[in-house]
Amino acid sequence: MFVAGGAPKKRRAVPRDWSKVKEQRFVEALTETCNVTLACAAASVSTTSAYKRRKANAAFRNAWREAIGLAYQKLELVLIERALNGTEKIVTKGEGREERMREYSNHIALQLLKMHRETAIEATTDAD
């Protein structure tokens, strides 16, 4: 917008505008949660504005992609740890006595085996 005299008038920032701080909060939260809605809440922005920014801003789009990649790697590590070590479960026995035991998810283990089968085969054939 121009004012009489030709100097451009600056628009005041409003709370919904993106800033470096908001972008950083969004990317950090997305890396931790792999959840766009939670990342938007952490950055105090709407999901609509986040998706619009991703579409229009290549640097933001790359940061988003990297955040999802890191979050995925973290999730995969957690699932591998659960498949190998199980999760602790408390079982109540007779007379109200509690006993701790480990529970293992065959479903998670099978999914991980499927995901990494080709890499494991390559690793064993390369070793020969």
- pTM, 2 dp: 0.63
Q: How many domains does the chain have?
A: 2
66 in the same domain as 26: yes
Residue 2 belongs to some domain of the structure: no
100 in the same domain as 60: no
90 in the same domain as 69: no
Cα separation, 87 vs 122, whole angstroms: 30
69 in the same domain as 90: no
In terms of residue numbers, what domain contains 113? 86-128
Whole-number average pLDDT of the chain: 86
98 in the same domain as 62: no
pLDDT in tens, 37-80: 999 999 999 999 999 999 999 999 999 999 999 998 898 888 88
104 in the same domain as 62: no
Reduced DSSP (H G I as helix, E B as strand, rest coil) percent helix, strand, coil of the chain, to 5: 65, 10, 25
